[in-house]
Structure 1
Amino acid sequence: MMLMVDMGNSSLKWAFFDKGKLSPLERIPYQSNNLKNLLTQAWLRCNIPPRSVWVSNVAGPQKAELLTQWITTHWGLKPIFIKTTHYECGVKNGYENPAQLGVDRWLALIGAHHLEKGMLCVIDCGTAVTLDILSASGHHQGGLIIPGITTMRDVLLDDTYALAHLNKILPQGNDKQFLAHDTRTGISQGALYAVIGLVKYVVNTLEKQGNKIKLILTGGSASAIKSFLQTHQHVPDLVLQGLVVIASQSL
């Protein structure tokens, strides 16, 4: 049994890989000062410790060190932190400096390439929204980054004095109310449409060039946009699936 861990900017996601299958994705929000307690609550209930721990980390060295200390103390293991490379598991990095591509995006591309054939548009909706295009042969064509739905909304609510008193409600992708009739909803819907507009613009542009695109969605806010997109595959554990591909190759 192996443990796959995705350390994002605002939450920790994990699943156990055993007998060729991933367990259901689990998620906890965290900050640096409560990570150890959260790990104890979440992982000490495991009846059998994993034989290895594979990690995607975009949360920085401090959280990585806390995670390493906990795993070493409780399980006697040293976690394996994956790094972005030029080429891995059939996927070629499209960045001029491969290391600049976030490891979560890299793993999502690897996971997507092994799940689906053809040209892919991989969209990760989290603190940021990242959009990456992968050719049928596994060549990363490049990508785009914008603030996530919650990030865009919170920037306005937090930094604008007149809006600071408004409640912060995550948009649920409800298309029944196309235009808002209050400021809070206007901000939420505007952020939502900004993401949808980016996705549709990129897909339409590529399709006009003769490409057939398959959409793959992942990330905590993917559910907010998926009802606005006609054809897509929603894979909440896509980064972890990329970890599984790399871990399985190393066995």
Structure 2
Amino acid sequence: MVTDESVLLVDAGNTLLKYVSLAQYKQHIYSSDSVTLLFRQLPTTPTHIFLCNVGKPEIEQQFFTYCDENKIKLHLIETEKFRFGLQNSYLNVNKMGSDRWLAMVGAQTIAKKTFAVIDIGTAVTCDFVENGQHLGGWIVPGFSLMQESLVKNTSKVTVHDQIPTTFRVGQDTEECVAMGCQAALRGVYLSAVDYLVSKQAPFSIIIGGGGKNMLAFAESNGSILVANLVVHGLARYAESLLPALVSNR
């Protein structure tokens, strides 16, 4: 029988795989370094897996093999032109990462009619939606990619691995780089606010992704931070494609 506990949601990103059952996705999300380790960590064998993969192509093959061997139904979620009242602005939806699409689908359940969704991971994406119409968005290098670019393309710049927990000016090179990259991420948020204000309508900004705490200051401005927007989007697909879930509740 299909239940909330037997449905697994998996967000396979560029760095980690995040996973959780549909029953727990609002409380806690787990992570794994590899598909093999993820399978070992599962307490029980699921009946259905909903997968978003923007990582390596072989990840999908590993899931197909595992699901075939264990008689599990695999739902590979791709970007669509229209779903849940959300209209994609891309002419070629295959060029939009499914993580961006799912982040909008997830944010749509907690946002006002006009909103921006900012997802902070290896890259930072920002997408705008107004009355169900995706207006477009931005893609920016994430914190680590910014630092790596400076190290790669300059001769005397060094960095450290610490993620800033406060915002200030730096007083050595490593701190200056860290604070500069953090300032750039804050710039995405402030630019999103500026763009949404031009719409002259109430709006929300929803922030997710592994680096969401770098914009924690925005929470005091009314923006909403969530654990994993992609997983929220996968949950909507699971609930819409598995009617048995609703009838069993």
Paired residues of 2:120 and 2:142 also in contact (CA < 8 A): yes
- Cα distance in 2 for residues equivalent to 1:170 and 1:72: 40
Distance in 2 of aligned mates of 1:49 and 1:23: 20
Matches of residues 214-233 of structure 1 in structure 2 within 5 Å?
A: 214-228=204-218, 230-233=221-224
C-alpha contact (below 8 Å) 1:123/1:215 kept by paired residues: yes
Shift, 1:21, TM fit: 6.2
Specify the alignment match of 2:191 in structure 1: 201
Q: Does the 8 A contact of 1:2 with 1:51 survive in 2?
A: yes
Change (3 A) 1:126 1:21: closer
Whether 2:167 is the aligned partner of 1:163: answer: no
2:97 counterpart letter in structure 1:
G
2:116 is the counterpart of 1:116: no
Q: In the TM superposition, what is the alpha-carbon distance from 1:153 to its structure 2 partner?
A: 1.4
Q: Say which of 135, 142, 153 aligns to 1:141.
A: 135
Of 52, 60, 64, which aligns to 1:64?
A: 60
Q: TM-score, normalised by structure 1?
A: 0.86
Q: How does 1:1-251 map to 2 (within 5 A)?
A: 1-18=6-23, 22-28=26-32, 30=33, 35-43=34-42, 46=43, 48-73=44-69, 75-135=70-130, 137-163=131-157, 166-172=159-165, 174-175=166-167, 178-228=168-218, 230-251=221-242
Instruction: State the shift of 1:79 in Å.
Output: 1.8
Name the CA distance, whole Å, in 2 between partners of 1:228 and 1:82.
30
Unaligned runs of 5+ in 2: 1-5, 243-249
Residue identity over aligned pairs, in percent, reads 28
SS at match of 2:156: helix
What is the Cα-based RMSD across aligned positions, in Å? 2.0
Aligned partners of 1:120, 1:129: CA distance in 2, in Å?
Answer: 16
SS of residue in 1 equivalent to 2:182: helix
Letter in 2 for 1:120: F
**What is the one-letter code of the residue matched to 1:213?**
F
More displaced, 97-106 or 152-161?
A: 152-161
**SS of the residue 1:114 aligns to:** coil
Shift of 1:170: 1.9
Q: How far apart, CA to CA, are the structure 2 residues paired with 1:153 and 1:21?
A: 32
Match of 2:247 in 1: none
Task: Kindly report structure 1 stretches of 4+ aligned residues shifted beyond 6 Å.
Answer: none
Asked whether the 8 Å contact 1:121–1:216 carries over to 2, the reply is: yes
Whichever residue aligns with residue 213 of structure 2, its letter is S
> What are the superposed Cα offsets for residues 162-181 of structure 1, whole Å, 9 maximum, x if unpaired?
335x4322222x02xx2100
State the 1:148 CA deviation.
0.6
User: Residues 150 and 170 of structure 1 are in contact (CA less than 8 Å); yes or no, is this contact kept in structure 2?
Assistant: no
1:7–1:56 contact (8 Å) kept in structure 2: yes
Is the 8 Å Cα contact of residues 68 and 78 (structure 1) preserved in structure 2?
no
Deviations 1:83-131 (A, max 9, x none): 1111011111011222222111111111111222321110000000000
Write the letter of the residue equivalent to 1:11: L
TM-score normalised over the length of structure 2 = 0.87
Unaligned runs of 5+ in 1: none
